[in-house]
Amino acid sequence: TTVFVAREADAGEPRVAASLETVKRMKGLGFDVLLERGAGEGSRIPDAAFEEAGAELVEAKDAGRADVVLKVRRPSAAEMQAYKSGALVIALMNPFDNDAAIAALAKAGVTAFSMELLPRITRAQSMDVLSSQANLAGYQAVIEAASEFDRAMPMMMTAAGTVPAARVFVMGAGVAGLQAIATARRLGGSVSASDVRPAAKEQVASLGAKFVAVEDEEFRQAETAGGYAREMSKEYQEKQAELIAEHVAKQDMVITTALIPGRPAPKLVSRAMLKSMKPGSVAVDLAVERGGNIEGSEPGKVVDVEGVRVVGYTNMAGRIATSASVLYAKNLFTFLEALIDKETKEIKLDPEDQIVKATMLTRDGKVVHENFQSAAK
Ligand code: NAD
């Protein structure tokens, strides 16, 4: 089995789909590892280090030798021209509302796996790229907020006087949000958080933050089987928005992380709410790529909206690329390892396996995923 690790074509993507550790472990499985020159540059992993770990340094066209392609982002049609027909391509495919791209994967004849579709089951936890990257993004969001903030985060009692602790409000207490809470707490912020999932309440409290929510009957019933949020009723959203509006006015920092899988991000912070905040306040919108939680946030930019600095960096995990790559690479390795047949030591796909079924988008020229059949037309 030959694996190709691509250099990401997108200039805004510093991450890489293999680490020194995973190259060694793939070699340990008896795989040949081809690594495109410069693939680790954005994550500060030199070619020479990859070579020492056992990778063969190659060019993009050599992808054609590989049975498996590991990437961070979905390959373009041009990149796929080099791939072997039937090659397994494992990456973040960004499949929602991207039928044309899914059709292109089918057309290229690759067996494409979309890592963001991984089921949230215990066996898949170590492969969960959304969790590993969201965790880092939550941390980095607070770091970015702190650096945009003109004041200190912790309370400081000095001979020259006292600086109050910054009030930080984290909206959405999933993986990213919980890490943002923990990070803001470590920096000495006074932290509160909200979520529509009742289970989040306890987690927020256990991190020492205050939970802010309208806790009615609907709230209690909101947790769905898969552990994701579902869309709340209009009435609930209105009541919650009112409570949130009062709360936001008292904050120095707002960090939003609210997502609903496969749907646009819910709008949680309006211009009026931003306007109610003190001058010099900062907001970070981690949902900006999915339409944004904050009105006026712009992908890739820090903009002033009603006197609040709104940070809309995309690929937040990529801003700490070295850590992000190490974890992403490990997720992909674990996923790949699970596809190996115990006896033959070769890759053998079981289309009925829960993980394969949930992530496989295309195979043999067809769109095989049941949720993306609109791309097959
Ligand atoms: P996510 O990135 O899809 O969403 C982030 C958070 O936003 C979620 O907690 C969601 O409830 C919240 N949200 C959505 N709409 C909101 C609104 N209007 N207001 C406030 N918050 C809103 O979610 P995630 O971080 O990937 O994870 C969600 C849950 O799944 C967490 O409880 C997490 O622990 C769990 N999880 C389980 C596994 C596993 O079992 N293998 C793996 C990863 C995550």
- Are 3 and 33 in contact by the 8 Å Cβ rule? The answer is yes
**In DSSP terms, which residues pair with 362 in a beta bridge?**
112, 367
CA dihedral 94, 61, 55, 13 (to 10 degrees): -30
User: What confidence category does residue 226 fall into, taking pLDDT thresholds of 50, 70 and 90?
Assistant: very low
Which two three-digit tokens encode residue 264? 């646009």
Task: Among 132, 175, 215, 267, say which to mutate for ligand 1: greatest number of ligand atoms within 8 Å of CB.
Answer: 175
The atom number, within ligand 1, closest to the CA of 194 reads 20
Residue 119's pLDDT band, with cuts at 50, 70 and 90, is: very high
Question: pLDDT averaged over the chain?
Answer: 94
Distance CA 263, CA 290 (A): 8
CB of 127 closer than 6 A to ligand 1? no
Q: What is the distance between the alpha carbons of residues 278 and 2, in angstroms, rounded to a whole number?
A: 57
What residues contact residue 219 under an 8 Å CB cut-off, 6+ apart?
196, 198, 213, 236
Lowest mean pLDDT among 18-32, 126-140, 252-266, 325-339: 252-266
82 pLDDT more than 80: yes
Q: Is 181 in the pocket of ligand 1 (CB under 6 A)?
A: no
The pLDDT of 155-182, averaged and rounded, is 97
Phi-psi region at 326: left, alpha or beta (left = phi > 0; alpha = psi -120 to 50): alpha
In this predicted structure, the answer to whether residue 137 has a pLDDT above a threshold of 70 is yes
Interval 141-163 mean pLDDT: 96
- Best residue among 169, 215, 228, 235 to mutate for probing ligand 1, ranked by most atoms within 8 Å of CB: 228
For residue 370, pLDDT beyond 90:
yes
**CB-ligand 1 contact for 258 (6 Å cutoff):** yes
How big is the chain by its Cα radius of gyration, in Å? 22
Residue nearest to atom 15 of ligand 1 (CA): 258
User: Over 60: is that where the pLDDT of 186 sits?
Assistant: yes
Contacts of residue 142, defined as CB under 8 A and 6 or more positions apart, other chains included, come to: 168, 180, 183, 184, 187, 189, 255, 284
Q: Specify whether the CB–CB gap between 326 and 21 falls below 8 A.
A: yes
Tens of pLDDT, residues 2-41: 999 999 999 899 999 999 999 999 999 999 999 999 999 9
Q: Are 166 and 151 in contact, with CB atoms under 8 Å apart? A: yes
Lowest model confidence (mean pLDDT) among 109-123, 223-237, 321-335: 223-237
Q: Which one of the listed residues 44, 76, 85, 120 is annotated catalytic?
A: 120
Side chain identity at residue 200, one-letter code? A
Mark 359-371 as b/e (b = at least 16 C-beta within 10 Å). Answer: bbbbbeeebbbee
Six-digit token pair at 6? Answer: 């691509």
The pLDDT of residue 229 is 61
Q: Which amino acid type is present at position 370? A: E
pLDDT at 231: 73
Angle subtended by helix axes 321-338 and 20-28, to nearest 10: 20
ipTM: 0.94
Distance CA 361, CA 135 (A): 26
Of the listed 131, 140, 203, 281, which one is catalytic?
131
User: With 70 as the cut, is the pLDDT of residue 225 above it?
Assistant: no
pLDDT of 241 strictly over 90: no
Residue with tokens 């190659």: 58
Beta strands in 188-227 (DSSP E): 190-194, 210-211
- Long-range contact pairs involving 93-102 (C-beta distance under 8 Å, separation at least 24): 93/361, 95/361, 95/369, 95/372, 96/262, 98/375, 99/372, 99/374, 99/375, 100/375, 101/74, 102/361, 102/362, 102/367, 102/372, 102/375
Q: Retrieve residue 40's tokens.
A: 């680790």
Instruction: Give, as one character, the DSSP assignment of residue 160.
Output: T
**Strand, coil or helix: what is 185?**
helix
Q: What would the pLDDT profile of 30-80 be if each residue is shown by its tens digit? A: 999 999 999 999 999 999 999 999 999 999 999 999 999 999 999 999 999
pLDDT, tens digit, for every residue of 296-323? 999 999 999 999 999 999 999 999 999 9
Q: Is 266 in the pocket of ligand 1 (CB under 6 A)?
A: yes
Residue 178 CA to ligand 1 centre (angstroms): 10
pLDDT at residue 224, rounded to an integer: 53
pLDDT of residue 227: 55
pTM for the full predicted model = 0.93
User: What ligand 1 atom has the least distance to the C-alpha of 121?
Assistant: 41
No. of helices (H) and no. of strands (E), the chain: 12, 17
173 lines ligand 1 (CB under 6 A): yes
d(CA 277, CA 69): 48
